[in-house]
């Protein structure tokens, strides 16, 4: 059975007259819910702390080959589009990440007899609808329509029950996270509070596992309610007397706290006609009291329609680009890209400003604390896009990163809800800080930022950000025998970070720092093997590591030199030194040949970050710029589509979408911490970017073109009416421009002799 | 190694001058801590909600034959005297019960490296001292002296640390209960709060498992502190990535809630000299806030010495009998008996009056709510003793039982912390209510009590107190095929309860009820088999159950007719109809012969309740009363001693001790709900019972005798100087008496012709 997915192109709750489609109307939250995109179709507000997602990754796998089931494989999302068995709606979720985490506080409407085991109460479903801030489906077994919307820290679900017995479950045992343990307390027939342990993202820092608190309020008092608890099954002598060993216990009407790994609350009704029950949930990472306050302040007595309308308005504000021309599908993937790029980093602080600090175990105060910094991913293009489109949000993220430094003593690497998970490698925060400053968002404490960068770069011992940095400074590279994972990749990452530090040092007048870091930024060259024309793992004694198979490491296979990639996918990840690389390769043609080889031999991996800028590197080869346009076009066509499998793989908290958005707009920030962009052919006839006048005095950038399915190649670029000769443009020039006009053609512009 | 147990005959904390030994000084809390007595030597106040007991029943059993280890057998106490491995001090405990429960909120001082697994941090110990309200020991591995005292709802421990690293652990994973699950939150370097799930006493009512809340305060701020958590070990695919799978996690400084089955908090110090750290703990069954209030109100800033002195004073007030003559050992077992009889029922309400109601899931208000009603045990002699010595406490218990009826709709049977565990059989509450009223404590709502009794007796369907009661009314007995456990025993229990109801009905003028219940009270006679002269299990069609082995059922062996006993142990459990039984047996001599046979063939079981009155039944046989004196004397000598194994078996919440106390005082309430006593030879030369003038206008009863190791037999009894001719006395007569003088002799008084 193939379920019918309907994009809500004209969704409206009330009988208002249909007006023109807004950006939010184009969003298809199902994109990325298959092919490991790891997004979910749930209801969420821009950068929301809460989201309500259908949860369909827990089912009986008997007889199913390679099930996309949470415990049967590495599965990082609460929802997989092709799955069929729904066991509730999760209230905290990550979107587009590569590890299982959150996906808890599950509500579920059922009818008839009370069942608390998800394998018993789960159901197929149909008629899924999702838009920005809204999701609904029809639960087959129960004939219940469930719809949900969300504000930043709270959400509302509406369950449309038929006549008869109805149940609302709050399942605190089930979840995507690998953490266990919850507490629940029923406050009244209409209210329940509690917490659920989460944490150890990517199997890192399990000791930092932490609670997420919630308060849930029901619009109708339950006839009966209670808590269920399925304790661990005893073994041995004790078990002989425990006739109830491992059984579920129903604690009817119980109103004191209950804790356990597998617990939940239930609320039962008996309706003599069709009835709607609304469940409003507030969450907090600080306390139950704050979860209640978040719920009261954000939702309170607002109706479902009010909350949805408000969130939709927020989405329209957030998705403020206007595009003309292009197909509906193109508009959909573009706006959905912006939507996906506006989910993480998300708000961490409660409405009262409370948030859990990093490392200190204290509660901090901020009205602008962000979390979910997947920086190894996002330093490459995501934050550049935020700097351009959402400078205030980007500054909030920068300030959050500096607060994390203040709190924990280190800049973040892969931060999640104030825990540092130390996922991936390198020193990506330094790159983001430098890039943001160099692109003109200077309204933060750059001196502190610079000191934080220096600490990460210069601390030779017990450095959680840059392990092996002593050897790196000494040899210029991390050796195979040095004990640091992926020594080639990590050397490259450190180089890019050092380049970033150098650029910032130069900008803020730290001359000697500039010189030191600028020199170090090219040390990766010591790993260049002129024979294979690749970067190769090397021992600390200077000898190459053998055997060397450049292809080894593709498809996330573990290998000696690289992190999530192979020699082909890393060799050109030197965006700060493309010219140096060209020289090492023996000139532009050799460089181009190698690049062609990578694409043509299918070594290019669109689904991961190291080679994400490769398609744009043809712009460094005079006369071959058309290949950038071709490659970008082909990659968009192949990997980015208006369908659940319409992302190349993990969305990576907005990075894949950022790549797409740039590709469709016609420019790309090819070199992190270098405030430049490089051009490709846009996909729309007109793109109007409203920009924040505080940072972009023009307040608007219009990109025009004669884009069409045939017109893939740049013939000429005009900026504010004047022909523009280069395929690169600085951020400053872009900022000054009001109009960029691409004249496109069906044929590549062959400028080679 | 045999540890030296020291009874604190003259324990004093400060340098005050030694005065005469007070009753509390005689208490040896080690009595009953071996031979399955199931008492513990921990610090406790009279009827305290909290007690602090050493916990030594969790250890590595490898190579140990029949270990007295909590998970290796049915073990119902936190401490066993002959065990050697201590893993902490529990803060809620049951005393002298037959099922494992409570034994949680474990604190433990250690030194050096932090270890959180009890098998690693546990230690041998020496120099145990215990007195009423006090316990101390020396922990071998750590050279730490640990001492503890308690008020009603709070306790203080003092840990004397040597110089160096010190740790205080709060282990919420380990416990005697079979329930799991706890929550902990560190509030500050000197305070921690949380809860622990307990419940399912005797493997009953697991769905009613409930939290006990606590707040602990330390006298010195910890240098470091945190929470540990050992999550469940994952299996399968997920586990492959979890390098930390099943490992303990240390959450240093973590200050939000943590839940889990195996969690705890730790506080670390580094002392440059010997230091004492006090840990004050308050508990509540209502909330953390109440636990904090209990701690503040009862202990607050009081010193350890103050708390102990206050509790000792309370014990001296409670143990208000004065005895003269007899050995120190006799005084010790007598006062320790009173001590053990003053532990349960215990206070359930918090200082502010809050307590968890039974069944309603509401919080009630009372300043006098008792819990732990092991009524199948206690109806036989315990409450009669309370009525005499502690009438206000007994009335508090009666009122609590009626509150339980109001709350749950039923009188209690085996109530524990407002959960009805339905342990054992019969309708014992009715007997206690009637007996109390008939002995003159009438200051309760007897009409409500009577209605409650009628409900238990007359509800034919879904009757949780008297299953099978419809058949019982119809046939006069419970049949083997009726499905009720121990049909003979249970018929007898219902008969005694009906006798009690009849007696009360008569007293309060319910004539027709009297007649109906009085008639039913002797229906057990239908189970009398004149051939075997025993009560036998019978089918509903009137046929005897075959095969019939009277001995089957001894030593708690399961059998068809009886509960925890056999035909010998039950045949004379008809204390309300001894004369009827004598008649059925064919006269006094036949009755006596059967009784002799039971004792002589070792069928008499001192360790359990059904035959507990047997030694006194010789008083119903004219001329053989000396046998009562002999049997009681011999049983005391054999089973009740000043040593850990000095109880015959389970203390049964004061019942064994009540039996002993009566036996030593020279009278026994032989027939529950019949306000009489029967005499035996006392063991002291003088016993001065201070009685509550409100109920006993004389305010005092003096029992005198020429008791000695030789003078075991009653020659003559004088009441207020006048010879008394009977071996029975009514409660009213006893109440009027000021002085009962026993003239004892070395030889039995043979009055037989």
**How do residues B594-626 score in pLDDT, each as one tens digit?**
999 999 999 999 999 999 999 999 999 999 999
Q: Which helix (H) or strand (E) holds B310?
A: helix B304-318
Residues of B in contact with A200 (CB under 8 A): 244
Cross-chain Cβ contact B257/A232 below 8 Å: no
Residue B524 neighbours by CB under 8 Å, 6+ apart: B476, B477, B488, B491, B492, B495, B535, B574, B577
CB contact under 8 A, B259 and A207: no
Condensed to tens digits (0 to 9), the pLDDT of residues B234-260 reads 887 778 888 888 899 999 999 999 999
What is the reported pLDDT for B2?
35
Q: Return the structure tokens found at A96.
A: 């587009």
Query: Is pLDDT at A5 greater than 50 in this prediction?
Result: no
Confidence of residue B232 (pLDDT cuts 50, 70, 90): confident
Whole-angstrom CA distances from A567 to A495, A551, A604, A605 are: 17, 7, 11, 12
A211/B260 touch (CB, cutoff 8 Å), yes or no:
no
List the single residue in A with minimal CA-CA distance to B226: A361
Q: How many CB atoms lie within 10 A of CB B422?
A: 18
Q: Do B231 and A180 touch (CB under 8 A)?
A: yes
Q: Among partner residues A231, A286, A356, which is closest to B180 by beta-carbon distance? A: A231
Residue B587 pLDDT level (bands cut at 50, 70, 90)? very high
- B393: nearest Cα among B103, B590, B704, B654: B654
How is residue A538 annotated by DSSP? B
Q: Which two tokens stand for residue A10?
A: 């004209």
Closest in A71, A243, A258 to B237, CB measured? A71
Answer whether A181 sits within 8 Å of B209, measured CB to CB.
Answer: no
Least trusted range by pLDDT, from A5-14, A67-76, B280-289, B600-609: A5-14
CB contact under 8 A, A256 and B181: no
pLDDT of residue B751: 60
Residue B235's closest chain A neighbor by CA?
A71
pLDDT the model gives residue B423: 87
- Percentage of residues of chain A with pLDDT beyond 70: 96
Distances (CA, A) of A694 to A197, A394, B44: 42, 13, 71
Q: What is the pLDDT of residue A74?
A: 87
Q: How many whole angstroms separate alpha carbon B512 and alpha carbon B510?
A: 6
CA dihedral A743, A744, A748, A753 (to 10 degrees): -10
Among all residues of chain A, which has the CA nearest to that of B251?
Answer: A207
Instruction: Find out whether A669 and A661 touch, Cβ atoms under 8 Å.
Output: no
What is the ipTM for the molecules in this complex?
0.90
Average pLDDT for A550-579: 89
- In tens, the pLDDT along A476-506 reads 999 999 999 999 999 999 999 999 999 999 9
Q: How far is A46 from chain B (nearest CA, A)?
A: 27
pLDDT band of residue A576 (cuts 50, 70, 90) is very high
The superfamily in CATH containing domain B467-571 is alpha-1,2-mannosidases domains (1.20.1610.10)
Which of B266, B289, B377, B389 has the alpha carbon at shortest distance from B339?
A: B389
* pLDDT range class, residue A551, cuts 50, 70, 90: confident
Are A361 and B254 an interchain contact pair (Cβ–Cβ within 8 Å)? yes
Range name among A398-402, A479-483, B17-21 with the lowest pLDDT average = B17-21
Order of strands, edge to edge, in the sheet holding A373-374? Answer: A373-374, A414-416, A419-420
Which chain A residues are Cβ-neighbours of B256 within 8 angstroms? 210-211, 286-287, 356, 361
The two most distant CA atoms of chain B are separated, in Å, by 90
**Closest alpha carbon to A581 in A538, A617, A536, A605:** A617
Asked whether the beta carbons of A561 and A529 are under 8 A apart, the reply is no
Give start and end residues of each alpha helix (H) in A341-467: 375-378, 382-389, 391-408, 428-438, 446-458
pTM score? 0.93
Angle between helices A428-438 and A391-408 (to 10 degrees): 140
Alpha-carbon distance A438 to A46, whole Å?
A: 26
Nearest to A242 among B178, B209, B211 (CB): B178
The shortest CB-CB distance from A178 to any of B179, B180, B234 is to B234
Domain limits of chain A?
29-317, 325-348+600-752, 350-462, 467-571
Considering only CB atoms, B203 lies closest to which of A180, A241, A256, namely: A241
pLDDT exceeding 70 applies to what percent of chain B?
A: 96
What is the dihedral angle through the alpha carbons of A86, A91, A92, A95, rounded to the nearest 10 degrees? 50
- The tokens for A91 are 């209230």
pLDDT of the residue at A552: 80
Residue B697, pLDDT score: 97
pLDDT of residue B238: 76
Residue A211 to residue B251, Cβ atoms within 8 A: no
CB contact under 8 A, B253 and A361: yes
Contact across the interface for A207 and B243, Cβ inside 8 Å: no
Integer Cα distance of A635 and A512 in angstroms: 42
Smallest CA–CA distance, residue A274 to chain B, in Å, is: 30
What's the pLDDT score for residue A19?
55
Tell me which chain A residues have a C-beta less than 8 angstroms from the C-beta of B68.
none
Q: Given this model, what pLDDT does residue A751 score?
A: 60
CB contact under 8 A, B238 and A209: no
Helix axes A511-520, A487-507, angle to 10 degrees: 160
Q: Which of B58, B180, B237, B257 to mutate to test the interface with A (most CBs of A within 10 A)?
A: B257
CATH 2.70.98.10 fits A29-317, yes or no: yes
Phi, psi of A490 (to 5 degrees): -70, -35
Q: Please compute the mean of the pLDDT values over residues B191-207 and round it to a whole number.
A: 94
Q: Residue A337: its pLDDT value, please?
A: 98
Predicted local distance difference test score (pLDDT) of residue A425: 92
Task: Please say whether the beta carbons of B584 and B530 come within 8 A.
Answer: yes
Mutant choice from A114, A257, A422 vs B, greatest count of B C-beta within 10 A: A257
| Bridge partner residues of A378 (DSSP) | none
Contact across the interface for A203 and B255, Cβ inside 8 Å: no
Q: Would the CB atoms of B286 and A249 count as touching at under 8 Å? A: no
Phi, psi of B146 (to 5 degrees): -120, 125
A203/B244 touch (CB, cutoff 8 Å), yes or no: yes
Choose among A211, A232, A234: nearest Cβ to B257: A211
pLDDT band at A241 (very low <50, low <70, confident <90, very high): confident
> Would the CB atoms of A183 and B231 count as touching at under 8 Å?
no
Average pLDDT, chain B: 95
Residue B14 pLDDT exceeds 80:
no
On the question of pLDDT at B9 being above 80, the answer is no
Q: Which residue of B has its CA nearest to A235?
A: B71
Q: By percentage, how much of chain B surpasses pLDDT 90?
A: 91
Q: Are A325 and A305 in contact, with CB atoms under 8 Å apart? A: no
Pairs of CB atoms within 8 A across A/B: 134
Do B325-348+600-752 and B350-462 have matching folds? Answer: no
How far is the C-alpha of A167 from the C-alpha of A277, rounded, in Å? 10
CATH-assigned architecture of domain B350-462 = Up-down Bundle (1.20)
Q: Does domain B325-348+600-752 have CATH number 3.30.420.40?
A: no
Contact B251 A180 (CB under 8 A): no
* C-alpha atoms less than 13 angstroms from C-alpha of A432 in its C-beta half-sphere: 33
* CA gap A258, B195 in Å, rounded: 9
Distance (Å, rounded) from C-alpha A302 to C-alpha A308? 10
Q: How confident is the model at residue A18 (pLDDT cuts 50, 70, 90)?
A: very low
Nearest-Cα residue of chain B relative to residue A196: B259
Mean pLDDT of B202-211: 93
> Exposed, middle or buried: residue B40 (CB in 10 Å: 0-12, 13-18, 19+)?
buried
pLDDT in tens, B45-88: 999 999 999 999 999 999 999 999 999 888 999 999 999 999 99
What stretches of A640-700 show up as alpha helix (H) in DSSP?
655-665
pLDDT of residue A558: 75
> What's the token pair of residue A610?
């190291």
Q: How many CB atoms lie within 10 A of CB A2?
A: 5
Average pLDDT for residues B292-309, to the nearest whole number?
98
Neighbouring CB atoms inside 10 A of B549's CB total 10
Question: Rounded distance, CA A94 to CA A79, Å?
Answer: 11
Task: Specify the DSSP class assigned to residue B478.
Answer: -
Secondary structure class of B575 (helix, strand, coil): helix
Considering only A446-460, B219-233, B542-556, B632-646, which range has the smallest mean pLDDT?
B542-556
Q: What residues have CB less than 8 Å from A582, skipping those under 6 apart?
A: A588, A590, A591, A620, A621
* CA distance, residue A238 to nearest chain B CA (Å): 6
Section A313-331 average pLDDT: 96
How does DSSP classify residue A534?
E
CA distance linking residue B393 with residue B395, whole number of Å:
5
* Cα B335 from chain centroid (whole Å): 15
pLDDT score for A550: 86
| Structural tokens at position B6 | 């020291």
Give me the mean pLDDT over the B362-382 stretch.
97
How much is the average pLDDT of A138-159? 98
Q: What does the alpha-carbon distance between residue B166 and residue B47 come to, in Å, rounded to a whole number? A: 34
Min Cα separation B350/chain A (Å)? 15
User: How far is C-alpha A219 from the geometric centre of its chain's CA atoms?
Assistant: 33
Min Cα distance B229 → chain A (Å) is 8
Q: B206 vs A249: CB contact, 8 Å cut-off?
A: yes
Cα R_g (chain B), whole angstroms: 26
pLDDT band at residue A749 using 50, 70 and 90 as cut-offs: confident
Smallest CA–CA separation between A165 and chain B, in Å?
23
Q: Which residues of A fall within a CB distance of 8 Å from B253? A: 360-361
B25-29, B129-133, B266-270, B749-753 — which is least confidently predicted?
B749-753
Asked if residues B57 and B176 have their Cβ atoms less than 8 Å apart, the reply is yes
β-strand pairing of B263-271 with B164-171? antiparallel
State the burial class of residue A72 (Cβ atoms within 10 Å of its Cβ: 0-12, 13-18, 19+): middle
SS3 per residue for A316-338: HHHCCCEEECCCHHHHHHHHHHH
């Amino acid at each position: 059975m193939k379920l019918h997915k309907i994009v809500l192109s004209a969704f409206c709750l009330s009988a208002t007259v249909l007006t023109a489609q807004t950006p939010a109307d184009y969003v298809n939250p199902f994109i990325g819910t298959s092919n490991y995109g790891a997004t979910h179709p749930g209801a969420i507000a821009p950068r929301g702390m809460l989201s309500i997602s259908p949860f369909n990754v827990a089912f009986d796998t008997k007889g199913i080959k390679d099930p996309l089931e949470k415990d049967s494989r590495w599965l990082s999302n609460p929802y997989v589009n092709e799955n069929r068995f729904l066991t509730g709606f999760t209230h905290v979720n990550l979107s587009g990440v590569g590890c299982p985490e959150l996906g808890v506080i599950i509500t579920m409407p059922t009818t008839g007899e009370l069942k608390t085991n998800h394998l018993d109460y789960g159901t197929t479903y149909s008629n899924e609808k999702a838009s920005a801030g809204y999701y609904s489906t029809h639960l087959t077994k129960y004939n219940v329509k469930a719809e949900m919307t969300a504000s930043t820290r709270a959400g509302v679900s509406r369950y449309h029950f038929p006549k008869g017995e109805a149940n609302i479950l709050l399942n605190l045992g089930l979840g995507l996270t690998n953490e266990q343990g919850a507490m629940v307390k029923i406050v009244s027939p209409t209210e329940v509070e509690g917490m659920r342990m989460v944490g150890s993202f990517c199997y890192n820092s399990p000791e930092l596992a932490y609670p997420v608190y919630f308060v849930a309020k029901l619009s109708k008092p339950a006839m009966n309610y209670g808590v269920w608890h399925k304790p661990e099954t005893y073994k041995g002598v004790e078990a002989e007397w425990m006739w109830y060993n491992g059984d579920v216990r129903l604690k009817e009407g119980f109103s004191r706290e209950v804790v356990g790994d597998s617990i939940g609350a239930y609320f039962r009704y008996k309706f003599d006609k069709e009835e709607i029950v609304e469940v409003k949930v507030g969450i907090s990472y600080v306390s139950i009291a704050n979860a209640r306050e978040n719920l009261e302040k954000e939702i309170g007595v607002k109706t479902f329609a009010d909350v949805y309308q408000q969130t939709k308005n927020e989405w329209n504000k957030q998705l403020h680009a206007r595009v003309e021309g292009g197909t509906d599908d193109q508009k959909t993937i573009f706006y959905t890209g912006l939507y996906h790029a506006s989910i993480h980093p998300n708000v961490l602080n409660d409405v009262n400003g409370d948030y859990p600090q990093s490392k200190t175990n204290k509660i901090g105060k901020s009205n602008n604390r962000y979390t979910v910094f997947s920086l190894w991913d996002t330093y490459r293009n995501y934050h550049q896009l935020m700097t351009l489109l959402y400078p205030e949000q980007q500054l909030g993220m920068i300030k959050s990163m500096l607060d994390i430094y203040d709190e924990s003593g280190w800049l973040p690497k892969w931060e999640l809800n104030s825990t540092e998970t130390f996922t991936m490698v390198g020193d990506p925060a330094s790159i983001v800080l430098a890039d943001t400053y160099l692109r003109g968002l200077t309204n933060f404490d750059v001196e502190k930022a610079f000191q934080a960068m220096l600490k990460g770069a210069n601390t030779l011992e017990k450095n959680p950000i840059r392990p092996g940095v002593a050897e790196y400074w000494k040899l210029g590279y991390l050796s195979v025998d040095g004990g640091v994972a992926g020594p080639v990749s990590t050397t490259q990452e450190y180089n890019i970070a050092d380049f970033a530090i150098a650029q910032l040092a130069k900008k803020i007048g730290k001359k000697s720092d500039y010189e030191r870091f600028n020199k170090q930024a090219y040390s990766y060259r010591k790993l260049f093997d002129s024979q294979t024309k690749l970067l190769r793992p090397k021992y600390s004694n200077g000898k190459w590591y053998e055997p060397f198979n450049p292809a080894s490491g593709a498809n996330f296979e573990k290998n000696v030199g690289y992190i999530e990639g192979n020699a082909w996918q890393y060799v050109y990840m030197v965006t700060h030194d493309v010219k140096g690389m060209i020289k090492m390769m023996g000139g532009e043609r050799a460089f181009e040949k190698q690049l062609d080889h990578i694409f043509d031999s299918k070594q290019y991996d669109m689904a991961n970050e190291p080679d994400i800028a490769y398609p744009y590197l043809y712009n460094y080869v005079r006369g071959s710029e058309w290949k950038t346009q071709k490659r970008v076009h082909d990659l968009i066509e192949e990997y980015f589509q208006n369908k659940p499998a319409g992302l190349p793989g993990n969305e990576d908290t907005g990075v894949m979408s950022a790549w797409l958005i740039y590709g469709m707009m016609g420019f790309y920030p090819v070199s992190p911490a270098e405030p430049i962009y490089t051009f490709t052919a846009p996909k729309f006839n007109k793109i109007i970017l409203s920009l924040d006048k505080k940072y972009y005095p023009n307040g608007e950038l219009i990109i025009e073109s004669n884009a069409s399915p045939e017109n893939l190649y740049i013939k000429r670029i005009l900026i504010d009416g004047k022909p523009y000769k280069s395929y690169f443009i600085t951020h400053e020039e872009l900022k000054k421009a009001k109009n960029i006009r691409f004249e496109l053609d069906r044929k590549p512009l062959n400028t080679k002799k």
